Structure 1
């Protein structure tokens, strides 16, 4: 029984071919493509408005130099948002529940922000490792602590996204299993657990959107420190 709860997090395959690549590329098919018409349809207009809203929110804490990253951050936000929401559908797989994938997204982007700071303003970037006014005996310890804090950032990004989505999926499966088991013996309790399941599903939809936003927002804050 315990193993069946975690089967949903194993990467599916068909004839030995991993299907995680299809799960990662399928959300892009849901986005409408731009055409040459002067007046677009309702879906394209809504999509353009939503993308513009996301871009404004992500670029707000950044200076003008950081606006060059608008395309990367907005694309990452839409990618994570669609994957997280599609993973809530029945008989689907959520790639962002895999720690390896989240780290593969977090480490290169975090490293890019770090290298950007070291290239453009090396003195200011290295100054973050030592707070101003630190007593001399504490300098080695604080440099070690700040370096560890800096290196642990991509791990925190990946683990946060993985843990939140994994916990929500497990709770949904546990409560849905309890609802199906109690429907024949205790129907009133089953209705109560069904209500809890509905509320938890609404909460998980919010968590899926919030975690995608938090992932990209933290990256933008790391970028702001290095530009």
Structure 2
């Protein structure tokens, strides 16, 4: 029974077609077929929210890093879409897969490191050894700082995976309890359903916050290297 809880992280298929494909294409179809390319209140609100989100992301970055604004905005919007996708029926959250998150985290982190090595190689390598370190501690500190640098993309991917997976498993447990007690304990089942509704709102907030945290940490890594 415990293994069945993890079936929600599998890709559902119908007639051999993964249902995640139409789920990803559907927002684009709505955008094109409903005349949303025309300026209206909805597109104006979306533009304002995107602009506000971009300003929040660029706040800790100095002016030379503002050239990466489009990349970070695209990344956070992609993560928001993928994180919230699993809250729809017959779909799953791609970012609950560690391989997916590492495929996003490693290239983005590597980009910040390469930018630092290109623009200021001495300062970037200087982060591995704090100034004034005693000579006997130099080899140990270099190893520690190198490990902390290399573990950053792992921390990004694992944090995103763990937070989303835990929320989805908790929702699965509560929904299973509500169904199991529906006929025998209707009061407890009703309370479980109310809890599930509240938890769904919390999970939506977690999906948005984790996308923001993932991208914000990358902006901080970039700021260290520009």
Describe how 1:111-126 pairs up with structure 2 within 5 A.
111-126=110-125
Q: Structure 1, unaligned stretches of length 5 or more? A: none
TM-score, length of structure 1 as denominator length: 0.91
Greater mean deviation of Cα atoms: 214-223 or 8-17: 8-17
Question: Post-superposition shift, 1:8?
Answer: 1.2
Q: In the alignment, is the contact (CA less than 8 A) between 2:160 and 2:210 conserved in 1? A: yes
Cα distance in structure 2, aligned partners of 1:192 and 1:15: 37
Cα distance in structure 1, aligned partners of 2:106 and 2:94: 17
Question: In structure 1, what is the equivalent of residue 185 of structure 2?
Answer: 186
Instruction: Summarize the Cα distance change of 1:116–1:23 in structure 2 as closer, same or farther, 3 Å threshold.
Output: farther
Cα distance in structure 2, aligned partners of 1:85 and 1:17: 21
Instruction: Summarize the Cα distance change of 1:90–1:11 in structure 2 as closer, same or farther, 3 Å threshold.
Output: closer
Question: Post-superposition shift, 1:191?
Answer: 1.5
Cα distance in structure 1, aligned partners of 2:137 and 2:29: 54
Greater mean deviation of Cα atoms: 9-18 or 162-171: 9-18
Question: In structure 2, what is the equivalent of residue 134 of structure 1?
Answer: 133
Describe how 1:1-227 pairs up with structure 2 within 5 A.
1-13=1-13, 35=37, 40-227=39-226
Instruction: Summarize the Cα distance change of 1:166–1:147 in structure 2 as closer, same or farther, 3 Å threshold.
Output: same
Question: Post-superposition shift, 1:13?
Answer: 4.7
- List structure 1 segments (4+ residues) > 3 angstroms apart after TM superposition: 11-35
- SS where residue 117 of structure 2 aligns? helix
Matched residue count: 224
CA RMSD of aligned residues (A): 2.0
Instruction: Summarize the Cα distance change of 1:28–1:160 in structure 2 as closer, same or farther, 3 Å threshold.
Output: farther
Cα distance in structure 1, aligned partners of 2:141 and 2:13: 47
- SS where residue 130 of structure 1 aligns? coil
Instruction: Summarize the Cα distance change of 1:24–1:133 in structure 2 as closer, same or farther, 3 Å threshold.
Output: farther
